[in-house]
Amino acid sequence: MKRFLLKGVIKDKGRSLLPIIVVATGTMLTVVMYSWLTGIMGDSIRMNANFNTGELKVMTKAYAADADQFPNDLAILDADNLLTELKAFEPGVDWVKRIRFGALADFPDANGETRGQAPAIGWAVDLFSKESKEAGRFNLQESIVKGGMPANAGEVLISDELARRFDIKPGDTFTLFGSTMDGGFAFYNLKVSGTLLFGATGLDRGAIVMDIADAQKAFGMEGACSEILGFLPDTYFNSEKALAIKTRFNSQPTLAQNEDEFAPVMITLRDQAGMAEMVDYTDFVSGLMVFIFVSAMAIVLWNGGLLGALRRYSEFGIRLAMGESKGHIYKTLLFEALLIGTIGSIFGTVIGYSIVLYINIHGVDMSGMMQNSTMVMPSVMRTAITPTTYYIGFIPGIFSVILGNALAGIGIYKRETARLFNELEV
Amino acid sequence: MENPIIVTLEKVTKRFPAGKTQFTALNKIELTFRKGEFSGLVGPSGSGKTTLLNIIGSLDCPSEGVATVLGKNISSLSHKESAELRNYGIGFIFQTYNLLPVYNVYDNVEFALLLQKLSGSQRKKAVMDALEWVGLADRAKSKPSTLSGGECQRVAIARAMVKKPALVLADEPSANLDSQNSHMIVQTMKRLNKELNTTFIFSTHDEKVMQYLDRIIYLKDGMVERDERKSEG
């Protein structure tokens, strides 16, 4: 009987090819849409993580209490040692030193007199190590408007908006005024290697990106850093994994009982201002949109299944006359739905995954659409590949086809046998 | 010695709802059919021919009265039991052939056997025998769309006969056929009736069919008007 049914499914294009195409299309769209939405939402979180929060962050306890004010007088002192310990503690995480600072940028005229001053918010990151991924995290190369990446010590990138305001060009120098970590007055001359446009007002107003070694010299922070950020290898922020690492780190006997305000403490992305809400909101919105999309696809595919079964009422009449029971016809209908749903879902998932993988690798450049955006979002959008990507398409693909056929099949029971049989005579 | 009775209809009445009232399609029908009969129900449209065939074929139940087919009381059968009765005991031949278009001739005939517990070789022999009976063994691989109307109806006969049922119900089997094919079809069924001792009950108003029938039951307004048997020889 199964061979007979399979033969029918294969030979009857209206029963196989068309439904499989519809299921595969729906499945493909679901996979791509899910990964796209998850990717966009995840990218927003990742961008925040890359610039500010990391997915894990280690600071001194005192620094953590006022982290928003960048209190570098409470910075981690023996940063290299702690970094080595962290790399040994959790080798799968990319640990990086950062110095965050607020300072005053003083732009001189040709005579060296002050031409203008502006507040600046700075990031000091590892720009020169070969193994450093920091330039990529800040998307520096793609964000440069004029000039190029710093090639030597003392070279920095400044926001294009700031540069335009004071007519600063690559090659020009300026002085950064700030405070050392000991509370002294700090001033340091820097050379502009290029200007940056991140596409987010908060970042573009007065951003300065420099190498961490320069910042250590400028602010008297040799051997120190504001914070050490950790980045998990996952495409999408893995909340549970981050929490597990944080818990394990903070519960170490040497730290758990340590009352020293300079003792390190680890927090996750979720622990930082507004990020828990953002992660939850992102999960909720992407979940909601996926639910709406999956529901819509389920309705389309359900209707497909319904129409497919309805057009076969005359065939069911013949089969009843041949002596097949209603229950057996119903079961074969569900068997066919499972077969078609599975084949269509596999095709759809494979095609959808290929598209997702391509967009994940190459990205879609949306910078043209985001020129005036104030959101901290990446200009190149990518899809996210998560475990859900592999099965999300099967939900509308299989269940809705089975549901459609199951509902259509109820008609077989509701109609009297004689009526179904008489429908043969059309 | 007379053949045994395989169908008994005792005061069979069938009513259908028609708006707020009820339409009586069959009214206290009293009939019996013996094994090997070649008989027909004749009457104008609405006389109850198809309704009666549906009840005999266990596709419908009487509103009143008792219909006993091959020893089973139709009214007391479950869906599954009535399907089993059709599967093993009753063959159907339709006016519009109703072959499954995506399958070839062999598959269409074999389908009737798939519900029975037969081995592949048993099925193959039975299908080829049935196609031999109707002279279509050489068209086993053909699709129904490539056959003439007469050939399609012969495939339908093979499908009805392949499981060697005790009873075959044929609803207007010649209605879509030309004169020559009508004769050929009925002759084929008559031959199978003689060779296999299968009971045939037709629903027809085709004179070409009626001339072959051994017994003609005239229905009018849901009642038996006349029940005529041709004398032997």
Q: Rounded to the nearest 5 degrees, what angle is found at the Cα of B32, between the Cα atoms of B31 and B36?
A: 140
Q: How far is B230 from chain A (nearest CA, A)?
A: 30
Given a cut of 60, whether residue B65 has pLDDT beyond it is yes
pLDDT over threshold 80, residue A417? no
Q: What pLDDT is stored for residue A90 in this prediction? A: 93
Q: Name the DSSP letter for residue A294.
A: H
In a mutational test of the A interface, the residue from B99, B115, B117 whose CB has the highest number of chain A CBs within 10 Å is B115
Write out pLDDT tens, residues A238-254: 888 999 999 999 998 88
Instruction: Tell me whether B112 touches chain A (CB under 8 Å).
Output: yes
Q: Does B92 touch chain A (CB under 8 A)?
A: yes
Q: Is A17 on the interface with B (CB under 8 A)?
A: no
| pLDDT for A367 | 65
**Given a cut of 50, is residue B93 above it in pLDDT?**
yes
Q: How confident is the model at residue A202 (pLDDT cuts 50, 70, 90)?
A: low
Task: Flag whether residue A2 sits within 8 Å of chain B, measured between CB atoms.
Answer: no
Distance in angstroms (rounded) separating the CA atoms of residues A425 and B120: 32
3-state secondary structure of B67: strand
Least confident of A105-119, A280-294, B124-138: A280-294
What local confidence, expressed as pLDDT, does residue B1 receive? Answer: 64
- Higher-scoring residue by pLDDT: A11, A73: A73
Average pLDDT over residues B81-85: 92
Section A199-220 average pLDDT: 86
In the predicted model, is pLDDT for residue B45 greater than 50?
yes
Q: Which of A4, A15, A325, A414 is most worth mutating to test chain B (most B CB atoms within 10 A of its CB)?
A: A325
Lowest mean pLDDT among A190-204, A214-228, B2-16, B159-173: A190-204
Q: Tell me: the pLDDT tens digits for B149-158?
A: 889 999 999 9
Residue A300: pLDDT band (50, 70, 90) is confident
- Is it the case that residue A50 has pLDDT exceeding 70? yes
**Residue A323: which of B60, B84, B110 has the nearest Cβ?**
B84
The residue to which tokens 């960048």 are assigned? A70
**How crowded is residue A48: how many other Cβ atoms within 10 Å of its Cβ?**
20
Q: Give the DSSP letter of residue B57.
A: T
Domains of chain B listed by start with CATH number: 36-61+71-229 (3.40.50.300)
What ipTM describes this predicted complex?
Answer: 0.83
Q: Do A320 and B88 touch (CB under 8 A)?
A: no
Q: Alpha-carbon distance A192 to A214, whole Å?
A: 13
Whether B176 and chain A come into contact, CB under 8 Å, resolves to no
| Chain-chain contact of B102 with A11 (C-beta, under 8 angstroms) | yes
pLDDT tens column, A152-178: 999 999 999 899 999 999 999 999 999
Residue A327 contacts B where some CB pair is shorter than 8 Å: yes
Q: In the structure, what pLDDT confidence band is assigned to residue A416 with cuts at 50, 70 and 90?
A: low
Q: Is A234 touching B (CB cutoff 8 A)?
A: no
Q: Render pLDDT for A357-392 as a digit per residue (tens, 0 to 9).
A: 999 998 887 766 655 554 556 667 888 888 888 998
* Residue of chain B whose Cα is closest to the Cα of A15: B102
- How far apart, in whole angstroms, are the C-alpha atoms of residue B10 and residue B28? 7
Picking from A193, A158, A150, A187, the residue whose alpha carbon sits closest to that of residue A172 is A193
Identify the residue among B50, B105, B114 best suited for mutation to test binding to A, counting A beta carbons within 10 A and taking the highest: B114
Q: Which residues on B lie below 8 Å from A322 (Cβ)?
A: 86-87, 92, 111-112, 115, 159
Quick check: B43 contacting A, CB < 8 Å? no
Specify the length of chain B in residues. 233
User: From the CA of B1, how many Å to the nearest CA of chain A?
Assistant: 32
Residue type, A195: T
Structure tokens at B108: 């269409």
Banded model confidence at residue A194, pLDDT cuts 50, 70, 90:
very high
At A426 the pLDDT is 36
> How much is the pLDDT for B233?
46
B90: chain A residues, CB-CB within 8 Å? 323
pLDDT confidence of A259, banded at 50, 70, 90?
Answer: confident
A15 vs B contacts (CB less than 8 Å): 102
> Mutating which of B84, B100, B155 best tests the A interface, going by the most A Cβ atoms within 10 A?
B100
Report the 3 state secondary structure along A35-62.
HHHHHHHHHHHHHHHHHHHCCEEEEEHH
Mean pLDDT for chain A overall = 85
Q: What pLDDT was estimated at residue A39? A: 83
pLDDT at A172: 93
For residue A66, give both structure tokens.
């006022």
- Lowest mean per-residue pLDDT among A355-359, A415-419, B166-170: A415-419
What per-residue confidence (pLDDT) applies to A424?
52
